[in-house]
């Protein structure tokens, strides 16, 4: 069966699609080139950590156990699993310890890698409690700055984006039913880590 030549409309569509692919590839190469050669970070870092002696011990165990082959923490590792930077602002140290010890029971659902064998990270829950405690302390010390995706509170002050979203999607009664926590005075009071922010 002879091949039919492309119709004019098909040629136009393929040309547009090809142009989009070419622009995307060129843009990616330029962005990576700029990122690699700039001395200033392109994006603001919104996570931080100050490790206690127990946290440092947990970090060493985390590293030696190969956790970074799936997870990213302290801005190094892979993105195959959950990014752990900022996890200490979402989960309490006790919740993290419970999860490391009994993943699916704590998560209240099936997990991808943590749990009973033959899951790839089944070895974690079989570690001694002393090691799991140190790792949980390390993870609890990976904090997120206010306003980041992992932080329990939005950025301080007004945000035109948040105001626009509230105006567009929040019911008119939200101001009388809820408190706008952006306006509260932050006198150094700590926001408790949330143990059930959703899966």
DSSP of 96-111: HHHHHHSHHHHHTS--
> pLDDT by residue (tens digit) across 53-71?
999 999 999 999 999 999 9
CATH code for residues 52-144: 1.10.760.10
Place of tokens 């892979």: 78
The backbone torsions φ and ψ at residue 83, rounded to the nearest 5 degrees and listed phi first, read -75, 120
pLDDT digits (tens, 9 = 90+) for 105-127: 999 999 989 988 999 999 999 99
Q: pLDDT tens digits, residue range 172-192?
A: 888 888 887 777 644 444 444
What residue has token string 């939200």?
174
**What is the Cα–Cα distance from 3 to 162, expressed in whole angstroms?**
55
């Amino acid at each position: 069966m002879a091949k039919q030549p492309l119709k004019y409309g098909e040629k136009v569509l393929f040309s547009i699609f090809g142009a989009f692919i070419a622009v995307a590839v060129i843009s990616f190469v330029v962005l990576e080139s700029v990122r690699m050669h700039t001395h200033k970070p392109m994006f603001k870092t919104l996570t931080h950590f100050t490790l206690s002696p127990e946290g440092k011990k947990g970090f060493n165990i985390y590293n030696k156990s190969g956790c970074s082959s799936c997870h990213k923490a302290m801005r190094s590792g892979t993105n195959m699993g959950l990014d752990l930077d900022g996890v200490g602002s979402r989960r309490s140290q006790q919740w993290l310890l419970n999860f490391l010890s009994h993943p699916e029971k704590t998560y209240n659902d099936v997990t991808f890698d943590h749990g009973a064998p033959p899951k790839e990270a089944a070895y974690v829950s079989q570690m001694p409690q002393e090691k799991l405690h140190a790792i949980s302390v390390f993870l609890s010390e990976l904090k997120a700055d206010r306003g980041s995706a992992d932080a329990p509170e939005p950025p301080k002050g007004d945000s035109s984006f948040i105001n626009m979203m509230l105006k567009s999607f929040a019911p008119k009664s939200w101001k009388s039913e809820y408190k706008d926590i952006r306006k509260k005075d932050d006198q150094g009071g700590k926001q408790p880590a949330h143990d059930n922010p959703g899966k």
